[in-house]
Amino acid sequence: MWLEYNILMELSPKLKARLKELPKEPGVYFHKNREGEVIYVGKAAILRNRVRQYFQSPERKDPKTRALVAEIDYTDWIVVDTEMDALFLESEMIKRYMPKWNILLRDDKTVSYVRIDMKSEVPYVSMTRNPDDDGATYLGPYYGKTPILRSLRILRKIFPYYDKPYTGKKTLNTDLGLTPGIEVGKCTPADYKRNLRQLISYLKGNRKALIKDLEKKMYAAADAGEYEKAAEYRNQYFGLKGIGTKIVFSDKEFLDISNDRALEDLQDLLELKKPPVRIEGYDISHQSGTNVVGSMVCFINGTADRTRYRRFKLRRQQNNDPASMREVITRRLKHLNDWGKPDLIVLDGSVGQLDAVRDVIAEAGIPVIGRDKSGDHSRNARVRLVIPENAEDYRMVELASDSHIAKLIARIDEESHRFAIQYHVLLKRKNSLK
């Protein structure tokens, strides 16, 4: 019996009683603190299974999960008809409440948006992590890329769409019925846009209203003798009715808030007094010493916090990465009071970069490591850390690619490189217009 888990003996009688009431249906749950504030929102295929997992086997959970659980005083939920409904409702509830733990504990790379540019003559549906102010419709955010991709694959059979810019050429997807078929005269762009609006309505969580509308249109078309149109509405109607049987996400994908033990492992590896909660990553970008910029990214509890990112236009334009890194670090350390103090600094570079900054970082009392990649910034690049041993020496630690530390360092490095390149390209473009 689930009450036999030791952790439950430490819960308040109010929370224990609440957990007994959990239903076996799909839905969205809301963890609240003692003040009644929503601190975390999640989705579940089976509410009873998912929510109870938070309070089981605490010794097997990472520090962040344990910190969240310690703050939970009460749990609410909303039951829905399908897993897809849970997926879309979760997105809306996170936007409404902005729960602090959803923000703190999610990796940016797990956040996805659906993009549809309805201004285009023939729009297409795509995924992105970074919504832009370009007039397109962005739906989300959705937390976890796999569930939304599964949902779109299911919905594409009901509301066919293009997933790439329209070329007018027939493809395999045309034959499979996964495009609206404008290229073979099956429908017009106007008809396609009407179907896309239905898809958008569904993605906004309006399934019940959409089903009712399709039923009405189906009977109206039949009464008017428009049997082909009635058949189309019928297929969409029964397609949406059948979604309740589709598996979008598994209850086995219990939210591992921090899938890794990277912070604790880093503490052990670097012999720190505490886990490095705030880690900053730095990179330099330029083209042969021109438009030289530096980036600073910030990870809190292993998760990117873009509100704390900073970028630097280098005062000395030179083809010298160690010197540029020294300038960036020196300028950053002047802001310890207003920007905050990192627990660990990660440099994109090896001994040269570390030698250039060790003295200024030592004065601030901040641990620093480098990543030696020999110019390889790909996600699959080996993770070899350069760790200061004393005033002069370093040790090299090569990490297994699947280790917790390697995954975290790779995320930090990839993000610092992306942010630096982004600023370099922007600066280059501005300077070319002068």
**Per-residue confidence of the chain (434 residues) as pLDDT tens digits?**
333 334 444 678 889 899 999 999 999 999 999 888 899 998 988 898 889 888 876 555 667 778 888 899 999 999 988 888 888 888 888 888 888 887 766 554 567 889 999 999 999 999 988 888 788 999 888 877 778 888 898 899 999 999 999 999 999 999 999 999 999 999 999 999 999 999 998 888 888 888 888 889 889 988 888 888 888 888 888 888 777 666 566 544 434 444 446 788 899 999 999 889 899 999 999 888 788 999 999 987 777 777 789 999 998 888 889 999 999 999 999 999 999 999 999 999 889 999 999 999 989 999 999 998 765 555 566 788 999 987 778 999 998 877 888 888 988 988 899 889 988 888 888 877 76
At 68, which helix (H) or strand (E)?
helix 63-71
> Yes or no: is domain 262-432 CATH 1.20.1250.20?
no
Name the nearest CA neighbour of 10 among 49, 62, 57: 57
Q: Report which residue type is found at 20.
A: K
pTM of the model: 0.52
pLDDT the model gives residue 244: 65
Using only the alpha carbons of the chain, give its radius of gyration.
Answer: 26
Q: Which residues contact 8 (CB under 8 A, 6 or more apart)?
A: 2, 16, 19, 55, 56
CA 15 to chain centre: 30
Distances (CA, A) of 130 to 107, 110, 141, 243: 13, 12, 10, 29
> 212: number of CA atoms within 13 Å, CB side?
4
Strand segments (E) across 98-220: 111-116, 125-128, 137-143
Q: Report which residue type is found at 318.
A: Q
**For the chain, which residues make up each domain, given as ranges?**
262-432
- Between CA 420 and CA 313 the distance in angstroms is 10
Contact 65, 256 (CB under 8 A): yes
> Tokens representing 79?
């039951």
pLDDT the model gives residue 238: 83
3-state secondary structure of 312: strand
Question: Phi and psi dihedrals of 33, rounded to 5?
Answer: -90, -175
Name the nearest CA neighbour of 239 among 215, 266, 256, 259: 215
